[in-house]
C-alpha cells in the first residue's frame, strides 16, 4: 500500500518543472520552520556560536536554509530533467579547466560533496558530465524501505549505480579498481565505529572515514564538487582542488585522518561561504569522542 502511495505521489510530482519545485520547495521549508521549533532554534544557535552571526542575522539565514532544504527534498523529482539542455540553460561551470581535467582523469575517482545546495541534482550532473565511466553514488538507506526503493529508482541511471552504505565497501572498491568513480556526501553524523573525530566549524565532529579508506585502498584521486543554487532557477558547479591519495604520507591511520581532514575542511569552507544553503536541521555533532579524548592534528 505504501509503495503505491509513494509511486502515485512521485508520478504527480514528476510533472513539475523547475519553477514549481522552487516555489513548492520553499513553501515546504517555511512549513518545516514552523513545525520544527527545536530544529529551528538549534540552527539559529549553531549559526550564532559557530559562524559568529548576530541573532537577527542567524535567524534570517536559518529561515533561508530551511527554504533551500525544502527545495532539496523536492529536487529529486527533477533528476530526470538534468540533460544537455539543463547544462546549456541552467548550469554554470565555475572553473571549466577543472572540469576538463576531471573528465580527462584516468585514475579512480572518489567524489565528495555535502548536503549543500542542490545535492539531489548533483548525482545526475555527475552522471552526465562523466560519460563512459562506471559510476556509483553511495547513500544512507532510510528505515522506510518503500521510500528507499522509490528514491533509488529516481536516482539511478544506466551507468550510475545507487549503492546502500551498508556493506558498500566491496562493491565500491571493485568499481574504483576498474577505474570508475564513486560519490559520497561526507558531512553527516556517523557512529563511533565508522568515524574519525575531526574539527568541523570549530567543534569536534564524527567524520565518516569510509570514503577516505576506500580512496586510499584504490589509490584514487579525491575530487570535491558542489552544486549550488544561484538566481531563481540557475545552478553553479564548483570543483575544488583535488587530493591524490598516492601522495599522502604517514602510517595507515595517519593517511586516513589526512584524507578525511581534507574533505572535511573543503566542506567547511563551502558551508562558511554559503551557510544559507547547508542542511542545518541535521544533528551534525551528535556523536562525540570518548571522555578524555584529545584532538591531535596530523603532521603535514
pLDDT tens across 13-56, in order?
A: 788 999 999 999 999 999 999 999 999 999 999 999 999 999 99
Tens-place pLDDT, residues 117-172: 999 999 999 999 898 899 999 988 777 777 777 787 888 888 889 898 888 899 99
Question: What is the pTM assigned to this prediction?
Answer: 0.94
Query: Residues in the chain, how many?
Result: 300
Query: Among 158-172, 206-220, 262-276, where is mean pLDDT lowest?
Result: 158-172
291 pLDDT above the threshold of 80: yes
* Model pLDDT, residue 165: 85
* Model pLDDT, residue 71: 96
* Model pLDDT, residue 8: 64
* Model pLDDT, residue 26: 97
Instruction: Name the more confident of 232 and 109.
Output: 109
* Model pLDDT, residue 157: 80
Give the residue among 234, 240, 235, 233 at the shortest CA–CA distance from 271: 240
103 pLDDT above the threshold of 90: yes
Helix (H) / strand (E) element for 148: namely: helix 145-155
Query: Which residue's C-alpha cell is 549553531?
Result: 46
pLDDT average, residue stretch 239-265: 97
Query: Which residue's C-alpha cell is 569522542?
Result: 289
Share of the chain above pLDDT 90, in %: 78
Residue 182: φ, ψ to 5°: -130, 140
1 pLDDT above the threshold of 60: no
4 pLDDT above the threshold of 80: no
Instruction: Name the more confident of 235 and 154.
Output: 235
Q: Model confidence at 200, in pLDDT bands (50, 70, 90)?
A: very high
78 pLDDT above the threshold of 80: yes
Q: What is the chain's mean pLDDT, rounded?
A: 92
* Model pLDDT, residue 223: 97
How far is the C-alpha of 279 from the C-alpha of 24, rounded, in Å? 18
Query: Among 33-47, 83-97, 130-144, 230-244, where is mean pLDDT lowest?
Result: 130-144
How far is the C-alpha of 241 from the C-alpha of 225, rounded, in Å? 9
* Model pLDDT, residue 218: 97
Instruction: Name the more confident of 292 and 177.
Output: 177
Q: Report whether 256 contacts 209 (CB < 8 A).
A: yes
6 pLDDT above the threshold of 60: no
Share of the chain above pLDDT 70, in %: 96
* Model pLDDT, residue 112: 98
| Spatial CB neighbours of 285, under 8 Å, sequence gap ≥ 6 | 189, 200, 203, 204, 205
* Model pLDDT, residue 11: 73
Residue 237: φ, ψ to 5°: -100, 120
Amino acid at each position: 500500500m505504501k509503495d503505491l502511495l509513494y509511486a502515485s505521489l512521485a508520478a504527480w510530482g514528476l510533472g513539475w518543472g523547475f519553477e514549481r519545485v522552487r516555489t513548492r520547495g520553499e513553501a515546504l521549508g517555511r512549513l518545516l520552520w514552523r513545525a520544527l521549533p527545536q530544529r529551528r532554534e538549534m540552527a539559529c544557535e549553531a549559526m550564532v556560536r559557530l559562524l559568529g552571526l548576530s541573532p537577527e542575522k542567524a535567524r534570517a539565514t536559518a529561515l533561508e536554509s530551511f527554504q533551500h532544504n525544502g527545495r532539496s527534498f523536492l529536487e529529486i523529482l527533477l533528476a530526470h530533467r538534468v540533460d544537455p539542455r539543463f547544462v546549456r540553460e541552467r548550469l554554470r561551470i565555475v572553473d571549466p579547466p577543472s572540469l576538463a581535467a576531471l573528465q580527462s582523469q584516468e585514475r579512480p575517482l572518489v567524489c565528495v560533496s555535502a548536503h549543500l545546495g542542490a545535492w539531489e541534482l548533483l548525482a545526475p550532473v555527475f552522471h552526465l558530465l562523466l560519460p563512459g565511466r562506471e559510476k556509483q553514488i553511495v547513500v544512507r538507506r532510510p528505515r522506510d524501505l518503500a521510500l528507499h526503493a522509490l528514491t533509488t529508482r529516481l536516482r539511478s541511471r544506466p551507468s550510475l549505480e545507487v549503492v546502500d552504505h551498508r556493506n558498500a565497501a566491496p562493491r565500491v572498491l571493485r568499481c574504483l579498481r576498474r577505474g570508475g568513480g564513486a560519490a559520497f556526501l561526507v558531512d553527516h553524523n556517523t557512529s563511533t565505529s565508522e568515524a574519525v573525530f575531526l574539527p568541523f566549524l570549530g567543534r569536534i565532529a564524527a567524520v565518516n572515514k569510509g570514503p577516505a579508506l576506500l580512496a586510499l585502498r584504490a589509490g584514487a584521486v579525491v575530487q570535491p564538487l558542489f552544486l549550488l543554487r544561484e538566481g531563481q532557477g540557475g545552478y553553479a558547479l564548483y570543483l575544488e582542488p583535488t587530493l591524490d591519495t598516492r601522495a599522502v604520507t604517514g602510517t595507515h591511520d595517519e593517511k586516513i585522518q589526512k584524507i578525511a581532514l581534507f574533505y572535511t575542511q573543503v566542506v567547511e569552507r563551502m558551508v562558511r561561504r554559503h551557510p544559507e544553503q547547508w542542511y542545518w536541521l541535521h544533528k551534525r555533532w551528535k556523536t562525540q569522542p570518548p571522555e578524555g579524548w584529545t584532538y591531535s592534528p596530523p603532521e603535514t
